[in-house]
Chains A and B, each alone.
Chain A
Amino acid sequence: MTCKADNYIIGETAWCPGCGNFAIREALAGALADLCLDSHQVLLVSGIGQAAKIPHYIRVNGFNGLHGRALPPAVGARVANKNLKVIVESGDGDSYGEGGNHFIHNIRRNPDIAHFVHDNQVYGLTKGQASPTSEPGMKTGVQVEGVTVPPLNPLALALVMGAGFIARCFSGEKEHLKETMKAAINFSGYALIDILQPCVSFNKVNTHGWYKNRVFFPEIEDPGDWSAAMELSRQWGEQIPLGIFYNKPHQTFEESRAALVGEPLSFRSFNPEACSSLQEEFL
């Protein structure tokens, strides 16, 4: 196939006009085109939410699973066929709330997966409740007194857990997002991009303008400097840094499993009779 972004875009979306998801989808299609990846060699895994509908709008293999459970099937897919480029794409509620346990443990596991989180700091599909990253004080139909708990910081958490690649992007900086996605897809191991995006329907605090006025691109001298990455991860408020804060690969889950050396497990032949020596140990 020819490597054009348009070739990856399909389907009528169910997103609101002006949603940040459109720009994220375009950036993803651009990244796939720039890397010239064949549709059948890419797998997009998602959970449930507005962002999680993306496998229906990008023409690659898709596993649109359960809410909060996008990472586990992606790991299983890597075990079965390590030739597939596996991308997990889901929202902040899905990735950091319902799926929080998988988020933590897959950083430890370090499978070769790029994880793109559409972080609009609110629940869209269920119409406007607080998400794990909502700003304290934000009032919703459920958080009637305003959000009273501090937000989860996904990048700082990922760094502490030992993630090898963390980045923050903004849907309003599409070219930067595309380039960062390419770097994450090519990264060997678990790569997290927390993508800030407005929710035009339900987040009246963190609007496109709110982000636009705050984001900046700091000079990152050494992407292997963990402390500097931590500092950038924790910076929030008047100034919000964007970029690849940390980029330092280490042994992946796949590399640590000797059974995965060689052809993908899915395409190896098998004959039960060849296993009959298994019972010798019981004799």
Chain B
Amino acid sequence: MEVNILIGGAAGQGMETIMNLLGKALVREGFGLIYTKDYMSRVRGGHNFSRLRIAPGSPWTTVESADVLVALNEETYHFHQGNLSPSGRVIYDPELFNLPEGENRAVPVEMKKLAEEAGGKVMANTVAVGALLVLLGLETQAVEELLKDTFAGKDGVAEKNIKALKKGYDTAARSCSACFDLPPKNEGSKSLFIDGNQVLGMGALASGCRFLSAYPMTPSTGIMNYLAGKSPEYPVVVEQAEDEIAAINMALGASYTGVRAMTCTSGGGFSLMVEGVSLAGMTETPLVIVVAMRPGPATGLPTRTEQADLEFVLHSGHGEFPRAVLSATSHEDAFYRLNKAFELADRYQTPVFFLSDQNFADTHRSVEPYDFSRLAYNRHLAEAGGFEKPYKRYRITESGISPRALPGQFENEVVLVDSDEHDENGNIIEDASTRRAMVEKRMRKQKALAEEMDEPDLYGDPHPEVLLIGWGSTYGVIREAVDALAALGTKAAMLHFSDLWPLPQKRLSGLLAEVEKSYCIENNARGQLSALIRRETGLSIGDSILRYDGRPFLPREIVEEVQNDL
């Protein structure tokens, strides 16, 4: 029991407005849903569409088929009518175009005209929301409340929108009312309606991030927008740097001087940052770097998704130094995992990467509210009396971690950091024995860091015949594929990595020895996790299922590949 809605049109026609309004109202009503975007790298024109799936619980993926198609232009109808279920409906504006004769699923709504009657054609999207509500058999009240919240303080705007909403509702009611069965509502506390970038922005802020320096780059920009919108109410400074080189170096300066700092970018921008990554490693400066992946090489497909920068991030920066690589798997997990990234960066005084991608960044889901008491804030700074005087930034210790003081923290103590190889005090050296001691000190941190990595998530049959391995944003789709395989009688399980480096190996090694068939499912062309696992463990994963056309996997595709093999 589920309903799938697809809205399509040209860039600039306001699909996002419709989905945000409808999605949030539905979540407020208690429905579980997911909303994904498929958009082109242009501000006007082209063909963009969004999918909304309302299903029991909180669905993980959207599907190809649609029950309701909102065609904001004629092209959308022709592109997607093949996916429309026989009992589906098409909402369209008969003043813009006509549907072919014999199309008996039509719900004509004069969106532009009705919006003008309500006070302005800009509200055509609100008319469409009204039409959708009646088809779903819902009242307009939740959306009315939302409109009042959204336009609070703007004289008459909410009222006009409510008028538009009702006009859409009444007009569509002539064609069809409550023609779809919605799934049962979720019980318990209200859920959030939130996208991936908002999860990461909120996670950073609640982890005590005080400075974000970045250069806008899709699909990471939403993080910048979120944090910028919270200043000055929250003590966070967002600086749009002149380039990504400045962005990472600014963040390092802020971190060295004492705040939790972060930068975010995508592959191209990250390419510019890598000398700074190496500087973070050498100066032992904590830093969280969010890399929201999109298809490369070069400019690639700017608004689409890929997981092809795992190896790049893993090897970024010249020289050898410890690092951690974590990833965004689900909205539920990413909030806490980004907090872990900040904690690791501070504890081990080294760069920590957080891999996201367009599929995660732009997807909204209904999720239960987060428990902020689970977030940690440990700065691991030197305390008065807790270090040998004079203070030395790179004091050699057993763990490799030196007491970290901030400039200005202690009277008459100075903190010197250097990108050259240095002695305990931070002064340039060239002698072999100090060099050896410093390399060994830095690399000792990697050992302890490895103990911090979470083993991959195991979901499904505890003794599977088929093991599906993945990482990052494929969590939901592989999980649904496991469920679908189980329903078909295949004993399947998912092993999904959130923490990628240092690679946690225990659970993987145990399982691989047991299963008959294993697949590594990745949004890249070369199977980068599969190769990493082979390199680190000597174990080979049976097969790869790869997708590199810039689109996220569908559960059906994975199920078919596995079944063809069995």
Contact = CB atoms under 8 A, between A and B. Distances in A.
B408 A83 contact: yes
Given A265-B210, A268-B235, A270-B208, A84 B419 contact: no
Interface in B414-429: 414-420, 426-428
A40 interface: yes
A39 B390 CA distance: 13
Contact of B259 (A43, A80, A272): A80
Contacts of A271: 377
Contact of A61 (B194, B236, B246, B416): B416
Given A72-B253, A81-B258, A41 B408 contact: yes
B192 A279 contact: yes
Nearest to B246: A72
B211 A272 contact: no
A69 to B, nearest CB: 4
A76 B416 contact: no
Contacts of A270: 208, 377
Interface stretch (A150-158, A171-179, A238-246, A255-263): A255-263
B242 A266 contact: no
B256 to A, nearest CB: 6
Nearest to B149: A281
A77 interface: yes
B376 A272 contact: yes
Interface in A6-45: 11, 14, 38-41, 43, 45
A101 B207 CA distance: 32
Contacts of A200: none
Interface residues of A, number: 58
Nearest to B414: A61
A39 B414 contact: yes
B279 A65 contact: yes
Nearest to B427: A56
Contact of B249 (A72, A79, A81, A278): A72
B289 interface: no
B202 A273 contact: no
B148 interface: no
Interface string B239-268: 101110111011111111111010000000
A66 B252 CA distance: 11
B450 interface: no
Contacts of A48: 419
B190 interface: yes
Contacts of B236: 259
Given A258-B231, A272-B377, A283-B192, A265 B237 contact: yes
Interface string A70-89: 01111111011101100000
Contacts of B255: 76, 80
B207 A272 contact: yes
Interface of B: 28, 190-194, 198, 202, 205-208, 210-211, 213, 230-232, 234-237, 239, 241-243, 245-247, 249-259, 261, 275-276, 279, 283, 339, 369-370, 372-373, 375-377, 406-420, 426-428
Interface of A: 1, 11, 14, 38-41, 43, 45, 48, 53, 55-56, 59-66, 69, 71-77, 79-81, 83-84, 101-102, 104-105, 257-261, 264-268, 270-273, 275-276, 278-279, 282-283
8 contacts: A76-B250, A259-B234, A259-B236, A272-B377, A275-B206, A276-B370, A282-B193, A283-B193
Given A272-B339, A273-B375, 11 more contacts: A38-B411, A38-B412, A56-B416, A62-B415, A63-B417, A72-B241, A79-B210, A79-B250, A81-B258, A282-B194, A283-B369
